[in-house]
Chains A and B, each alone.
Chain A
Amino acid sequence: MLQRLSSGLARGEEIAAAALAAAVTCLILTNIAFRVLGSPLYWVSELAIYAMIWMTFLIAGAVFKRRQGVAVTLLSDLLPRTGRKLVGLWVDAMVLLFAVLLVWLCWRWYQPLTLAQMGFDTGAFQGQTFNFIYAENTSTLGIKKFWVWLIVPWFALSLSLHGLANLWQSVRQWRDPAEEPNTERL
């Protein structure tokens, strides 16, 4: 169940990231077209940057899920099989640790409970908390910046799920001496 959810999510993230890669290209091409025609669109650059950042965080979730992240394996490659499995377990645990810590930091950042307690009145919220996250504007898009930042908590939550699924998989395979965790190297 956990594995299926994590795999499905990773596939979705890959499709979305590929679409965003296409979107970045199209946005930049649109920008050139309109500038050549003499009426530059001032908001395209900012939108393209956000598309690139969303692409990055989405694909990062899927990459860590598939254990494809760039890592220094020169020591672990020298170890015998048990040692390698132990290292695999440790890596999965560290990914999960980072993900959970990031969820906690995002929670402190968005302070959703406090916001709800204030009846979603952002003025009162920032008066009490001195947290101005909900006041920040994007520079050219005319929307609040916290919508764009939502990709960070998304990444944190998604990575927590992937990390948990991977760690669970590693623990189960630890007991089964025949198998090694499925690691795809670049």
Chain B
Amino acid sequence: MTIAVFLLLLLGAVPISLVLALTAMWYIQASDNTVLFDSYPQQLFSAIESYGLLAIPLFMLAGELMNEGGLTRRLIALARILVGGFRGGLAYINLVANMMMAAIIGSAASQIAIMSRAMVPAMEQEGYDKPYSAAITAAGGLLSPIIPPSMLFVLFGVMAQVPIAEMFIAGLLPGLLLGASFFIVIALVGLIQQYPKGQWPSRRQAMHDALWGLPALSIPVIIIGGILWGIATPTESAALASLAALLMGRFVYGDLRLGQMPQVLKRTAVNAGLVIMLIAAAGVFGWVVIYEQLPQMAAEWIAALTADPFVFLLMVIGALLLVGMVIDGIAALILVVPILMPIAENQFAISPYQFGVVVCLTLVMGLLTPPVGAGLFIASSMTGAPPLKIFRALLPFLLATLVTLVLLAWLPWLTNGLIQR
């Protein structure tokens, strides 16, 4: 019955955050556990009472300012000097840039936000299909929680009592593997749909672009440097990047007028607010669901079906893809790790590193799958392409991710190999 209510609201075009919030209310009433109502409003608040979430508005603001201040434009001009002449050059640049950004940002949502603003308008200008541009960028965001640093790995490490540094090392090979699989997808898609032809800039133009691109390059340097030299947390480095982008856009490039700031801030508030509101509602929803121990029942059901670790992991991937359809990556991780981890370790002797990487990657895929996919909606709200069109263009990338996941489930050394123990 609860599922019927959920589907009725969801397919009835009710805003998704309210679908989750109303379903949670319905479930409390239906399960006759009305005492939960007394904690409901506070749970809505405390679900988003988290320092890590601050990174979302800050990275969105940095992205807005890099765009308005003309920084993104200069960075892309700079990149064009390198590979702009090849057919499909910008598609490859997008992916390489995403891999580099993944080494900086720990959250897929933040990365999709900043990269959508940075890459999609430029790709569209060159004649790429908008949903396809948004899809490449959103897929690139999947690299963010796998290539270290990673918020999800930190969370997993603490919950499973695994050293976080070793979780990071475990993510290195899978991250590269995933990046390589995306390269293949872009090349294959290029065979079918002809990419726009690139153009090499003139020597004069190249010199000009290189010179003007250098100040803009300082943004990734600020983010990397801020974290590496211990000056700043990722959240703080996003704030520093915003400040640098503001100053450069205003005083170096002169593209940014202070009169634009109210609009920039309003867009930041709307885009960040939509995502954070969704997390608040998902928090209440997840809290109600775990109160009734639904995840535990699902876990026992899985464990009763097989004795083979590979099959078990495949079933976990399947189940978590379903979970990931409706629950946000971090919330879902918090729900399933305490339940699945002991089963994986005790009954199937799967190493926590392999299990952690597989679970995290599966759950971040959920960010890009409808009906609830924060990453999909960020990419959509940042680019204006409809979520479902982006999802359709994403399918080959999600398939590549799935193949990577199966490989990771099949070959434990891909995750355990670099760890010395």
Contact = CB atoms under 8 A, between A and B. Distances in A.
A69 interface: yes
B12 A76 contact: yes
B331 to A, nearest CB: 16
B282 to A, nearest CB: 12
A129 to B, nearest CB: 10
A109 interface: yes
Interface in B14-56: 14-18, 21-22, 25, 37-38, 40-42, 44-45, 48-51, 53-54
A14 to B, nearest CB: 6
B18 A69 contact: yes
A186 B384 contact: yes
B265 A98 contact: no
A105 B44 CA distance: 11
Contact of B269 (A21, A69, A94): A21
A72 B16 contact: yes
A22 B265 contact: yes
The listed residue with most B CB atoms (<10 A of its CB), out of A24, A95, A156, is: A24
A102 B22 CA distance: 10
Interface residues of A, number: 58
Contact of A60 (B41, B277, B388): B277
Interface string A132-157: 00000000000000000101110010
Interface string B274-302: 10111010000000000000000000000
Interface stretch (A48-56, A114-122, A166-174): A48-56
Given A102-B41, A109-B42, A18 B15 contact: no
A45 B239 CA distance: 13
Contacts of A15: 262
Given A29-B243, A94-B22, A108-B38, A21 B61 contact: yes
A159 B371 CA distance: 24
B274 A74 contact: no
Chain B: number of interface residues, binned into ranges: 35 or more
Contact of A49 (B51, B371, B387): B51
A17 interface: yes
Interface of A: 14-15, 17-22, 24-25, 28-29, 31-32, 36, 45, 48-49, 52-53, 55-60, 62-64, 68-76, 87, 90-91, 94-95, 97-98, 101-102, 105-106, 108-109, 131, 149, 151-153, 156, 186
Interface of B: 9-18, 21-22, 25, 37-38, 40-42, 44-45, 48-51, 53-54, 57-58, 61, 231-232, 235-236, 238-240, 242-243, 261-262, 265-266, 268-270, 272-274, 276-278, 280, 370-371, 377, 380-381, 384, 387-388
The 10 tightest CB contacts between A and B, nearest first, are A69-B15, A59-B273, A18-B265, A28-B239, A17-B269, A56-B276, A18-B266, A76-B13, A21-B269, A60-B277
15 contacts: A14-B266, A18-B262, A18-B268, A20-B269, A21-B57, A32-B236, A49-B53, A69-B18, A70-B16, A70-B380, A72-B11, A72-B13, A95-B15, A98-B25, A102-B41
